[in-house]
Amino acid sequence: MTGKSVHAAAWALVGEQHGVISRIQLVELGFSAKAIEHRIATGRLHPVFPGVYSVGRPEVSRLGRWVAATLACGADAVTSHNTAAALYGVRPYRPHEPIEVSVPSGRNPRTDGIRVHRRRGRVETTRHQRVAVTTPVETLVDLAARLPRDDLEAAINEADKRDLVDVEALRAALEAVEPRPGVGILRATIDRRTFVYTDSRLERRFLPIARRAGLPHPETQRYVNSYRVDFLWRLLGLLVETDGLRYHRTPAQQAADRVRDQEHAAAGLTVLRFTHGQIRYEPAHVERILTAVARRLRQAA
């Protein structure tokens, strides 16, 4: 390979890897140790982790830093756990947390700023946004072992919204996942009898109240009269909307909500709308209203 082609190959790899490259990769491309040290000394390579460099400038994007962490941990290393969840967008990115990377059990790299998980057995991996990562299913299993149920359900719902995996596919995929912490928790969380799709923590707070009111399993996030609704009990003709703090605050949105409710009423549905404050701080009131309305609708049926 000529000098020009070596540099072209290096630049192509750097572009693929969000601006970073490892010493091992440079050597494999044909760069000598002296050439690498010269580029470090002249500011063309900037250390990110031991043996991994950003090219041209010291600043590295979030994705570049995640790639650099996998390169620092050696062959077959992939982002995982919270870092994988942030990469997929199913959990918030927390810049002050260590980057989480999984490696085969036979290795134990130690680098400041990286939390390493040594894996026994087979773990499915993929690439997302040009970053090596555990698959969405494997990532949700890892999250299940550490998150409270409410946060886990939020991650599952977000994965579905982003078309990473739907719940039916997730149930099937879990059959092939080797037993480890998190598998049983995730399987129980998506049990057909208890799991429902929701869009917010507020909606997940509402579900236990509805169960205490004696209501059966609702349909969620369905379109009714051309509007997507939060909860629907079709046989009762009951529809419930939950209004969070971030939404339904402007006069225009409040007016749109009134039009929605009027269209549902014209179609013969009973509409109940509960606020964040009622669900969070007055659950007994919400339960009492649901119980009374459900009783009236059953009697009228």
Question: CATH code at 242?
Answer: 3.40.960.10
User: What pLDDT is stored for residue 141 in this prediction?
Assistant: 95
Owning domain of residue 291 = 201-300
Mean pLDDT of 40-67: 95
Q: Are strands 78-79 and 52-55 parallel, antiparallel or unpaired?
A: unpaired
**Residues 218 and 134 reside in one and the same domain:** no
Distance CA 156, CA 91 (A): 10
**Residues 129 and 28 reside in one and the same domain:** no
First-to-last C-alpha distance (Å) of the chain: 81
Domain assignment present for 195: no
User: What pLDDT is stored for residue 264 in this prediction?
Assistant: 93
Q: Which two tokens stand for residue 274?
A: 């509960």
Domain assignment present for 179: yes
Smallest CA-to-CA distance from 152 within 115, 119, 195, 207 is with 195
**Residues 47 and 126 reside in one and the same domain:** no
- How wide is the angle at C-alpha 221 spanned by C-alphas 217 and 224, nearest 5°? 100
**Residues 51 and 70 reside in one and the same domain:** no
pLDDT-derived band at 246, boundaries 50, 70, 90: very low
Q: In this prediction, what percent of the chain has a pLDDT beyond 70? A: 93
Q: Is the pLDDT of residue 197 over 80?
A: no
**Residues 48 and 88 reside in one and the same domain:** no
**Residues 53 and 73 reside in one and the same domain:** no
Average pLDDT, whole number, for the chain? Answer: 89
5-51 tens-digit pLDDT? 778 898 999 999 999 999 999 999 999 999 999 999 999 999 999 99
The b-or-e profile of 106-115 (16+ CB within 10 A means b, else e) is eeebebeebb
Domain assignment present for 194: no
**Residues 103 and 178 reside in one and the same domain:** yes
Domain assignment present for 278: yes
**Residues 29 and 85 reside in one and the same domain:** no
Domain assignment present for 233: yes
pLDDT-derived band at 3, boundaries 50, 70, 90: low
pLDDT-derived band at 220, boundaries 50, 70, 90: confident
Domain assignment present for 196: no
Mean pLDDT of 88-95: 94
- Among the three residues 142, 165, 189, which one is the final residue of a domain in this structure? 189
Q: Is the pLDDT of residue 158 over 70?
A: yes
**Residues 157 and 216 reside in one and the same domain:** no
User: What pLDDT is stored for residue 247 in this prediction?
Assistant: 43
User: What pLDDT is stored for residue 15 in this prediction?
Assistant: 94
Residues facing 243 on adjacent strands: 275
> In sequence order, which residues have a C-beta less than 8 Å from that of residue 15 and are 6 or more positions away?
none
- Dihedral of alpha carbons 210, 211, 215, 220, sign: positive
Is residue 51 within 8 Å of 23, Cβ to Cβ? yes
Is residue 224 within 8 Å of 239, Cβ to Cβ? yes
Question: CATH code at 24?
Answer: 1.10.10
**Residues 32 and 142 reside in one and the same domain:** no
Q: Is the pLDDT of residue 242 over 90?
A: no
- Among the three residues 31, 59, 87, which one is the final residue of a domain in this structure? 59
Question: How far does CA 202 lie from the centroid of its chain?
Answer: 18
**Residues 149 and 174 reside in one and the same domain:** yes
Domain assignment present for 226: yes
- Among the three residues 59, 80, 105, which one is the final residue of a domain in this structure? 59
Mean pLDDT of 55-71: 96
Domain assignment present for 14: yes
**Residues 41 and 98 reside in one and the same domain:** no
Smallest CA-to-CA distance from 144 within 102, 186, 187, 197 is with 186
Q: Give CB contacts under 8 A, 24+ apart, made by 149-155.
A: 149/189, 150/201, 150/204, 151/91, 152/185, 152/186, 152/189, 153/189, 153/195, 153/198, 153/204, 154/201, 154/204, 155/85, 155/90, 155/91
Number of domains the chain is built from: 3
116-152 tens-digit pLDDT? 999 988 889 999 999 999 999 999 999 999 999 889 9
